């Protein structure tokens, strides 16, 4: 596994942990949670594309 793959995987793990810890707070509205999840999915797609072109 190349170093860029390790870095991207660590970034995805850290971002996942942060987004799901934020989404557990009850004071965040449902629409904001949906927006956060859509940003998360778009980020995952971007990382998948980056991994594809890095390899």
What pLDDT digit, counting tens, does each position of 4-53 carry? 778 878 888 888 888 888 888 888 888 888 888 898 889 889 888 887 88
- How confident is the model at residue 53, as a pLDDT? 85
- How confident is the model at residue 15, as a pLDDT? 85
* CA-angle at 7, arms to 18 and 1, nearest 5°: 135
- Half-sphere exposure (CA, 13 Å, Cβ side) for 46? 9
Is pLDDT at 55 greater than 70 in this prediction? no
Tell me how many domains the chain contains: 1
Q: Which residue has the higher pLDDT, 19 or 1?
A: 19
Question: Contact 3/52 with Cβ under 8 angstroms?
Answer: no
DSSP readout, the chain?
A: --HHHHHHHHHHHHHHHHHHHHHT-TTS-HHHHHHHHHHHHHHHHHHHHHHHHH-
Instruction: Provide the residue range defining the domain that includes 47.
Output: 3-54
Question: What is the reported pTM?
Answer: 0.66
């Amino acid at each position: 596994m190349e170093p860029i793959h390790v870095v991207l995987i660590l970034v995805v793990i850290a971002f996942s942990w942060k987004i799901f810890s934020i989404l557990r707070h009850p004071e965040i509205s449902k629409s904001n949670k949906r927006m956060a999840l859509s940003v998360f999915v778009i980020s995952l797609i971007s990382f998948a594309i980056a991994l594809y072109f890095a390899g």
